[in-house]
Structure 1
């Protein structure tokens, strides 16, 4: 009898990236990127605006200096919980740090790793990307697949930051986006009524998807295209405001 051959283990292949539809860059709701809020006080009061909630979360509250003070041996940071109120509702932001490679002054990996919470630098990067998304045809809102974000270059992002008085190197930008795409955040509430539906929101990194250029090639390819998706709260907001404004 032939000896039974062991079954080959199935190879898990990465999920293919689904291209953004052309009309996702052209829809009316992209105008909502301009301020992410309603036009009038009355409209603002009647909308459940998740970006209003997103921007109310103390998600960048701890500076790099303070992070160094609480860092544990091995470069680790504890899961951070920050209590706050949004429209009188008690909430807790649960922030999980991003673990990234340590690099020397020349940009070479040292084979060590360290953890960071998103902080002031990452906040500047996020807001700069949101401003860029307001300028067609960079930003997109893909309603069927519930995703929003933009396609950009590091050179354009640097220009936007510099115009706001926040110059950064390519490596600073790349590390900041690593932190945003690896650091996770979710919300908890002690309110049994859960009026915001917090328990129905899925946990997510600050940037759920990031596609770009390897760090070693950053300065060689400043015009290379990058792709980023915004946090689901941002997409949820655009969807809700769009449905109210354009589907009367």
Structure 2
């Protein structure tokens, strides 16, 4: 059964459109400002807070155990690479490859198809990097709890993956999306955004703001602008706050300048 084929394409050109996901895309779930690869499992859980539509959440991110050469294992957090790969997969899903299997939303694709999509948007990862990124999303755990502790969801970014070798250079794959993505799709709590513009923004923080603007700030205009708090925005973003205020101000200025160039 295909679910994504039933989603109407928005005001954007068909090739430009994808969708932001309620709650999931606002979570500070990626790791940008810490060492991505660890060799020590002690103190490996990252705990963050989030405020989405006035509701507060506690977020926990646990890294994936990834096997390298000679059976050496390392811990890798989901970072900017994994975010980009997941966004590309959701775009592929929206444009005909999305599937509902046993009530769970996912996407069927080939690694070559995914690589072509990434290259098209300026992200030239090789096949090994793409495979590892999918494995990181499979092995990393995202846990979130509401402030009142009435709701807890704990799952990997990709709860289920399947990779079948088609030939010497390509693989057919299946990825099941996170339960929060599945819940949002089934409830139609998603909104269109210009995927092409977003993917060509190379600053993770600017991409994060662009998605939030696309999802939550759609009624803003010149006479009624949004004025987000610098401290609040950065504190609840994957970047977090720096100890020096000058670094926070610089980060926000750079982000806004990048978005102005892309308008």
* TM-score, normalised via structure 1 length: 0.66
User: Structure 2 CA distance, aligned partners of 1:124 and 1:24?
Assistant: 23
CA contact (8 A) 1:60 1:119 kept: yes
Matched position secondary structure for 1:211 = strand
**Alignment match, 2:99:** 140
Matches within 5 A, 1:113-124: 113-124=73-84
- Offset of 1:72 from its aligned partner? 5.3
Matched residue, 1:207: 158
Contact 1:29 1:238 (8 Å CA) reproduced: no
Q: 1:162 to 1:156 in 2, by over 3 A?
A: same
Alignment of 1:7-86 (within 5 A): 23-24=1-2, 28-29=6-7, 35-36=18-19, 51-63=21-33, 66-68=35-37, 71=38, 73=40, 78-86=44-52
The aligned residue for residue 161 of structure 1 is 118
**Contact 1:93-1:185 at 8 Å conserved across structures:** yes
TM-superposed CA distance for 1:29, in Å, is 4.1
1:127 pairs, out of 61, 74, 87, with 87
RMSD (Å) for aligned C-alpha atoms: 2.7
Task: Give the Å deviation of 1:174.
Answer: 0.6
User: d(CA) in 2 for partners of 1:97 and 1:78?
Assistant: 7
2:173 counterpart (214, 220, 226): 226
In structure 1, distance between residues paired with 2:120 and 2:54 = 36
CA-CA distance at 1:62 after TM superposition = 2.9
Contact 2:18/2:90, CA 8 A, preserved across alignment? no
Which residue does 2:136 correspond to in 1? 179
CA distance in structure 2 between the aligned counterparts of 1:31 and 1:95, rounded to whole angstroms: 33
Alpha-carbon deviations, 1:110-137, whole Å to 9, x = none?
Answer: 121000110011001000000111112x
Distance in 2 between the 1:24 and 1:232 partners? 17
Paired position in structure 2 for 1:100 = 66
1:13-39 Cα offsets, whole Å, 9 max, x none, are: xxxxxxxxxx3368624869x5435xx
From the two aligned structures, give the one with the greater strand fraction.
2
Aligned length: 184
Larger Rg: 1
Partner of 1:198: 151
- Normalised to the residue count of structure 2, the TM-score between the two structures is 0.62
Distance 1:86 1:31, change over 3 A: same
Give the C-alpha shift of residue 198 in structure 1.
2.8
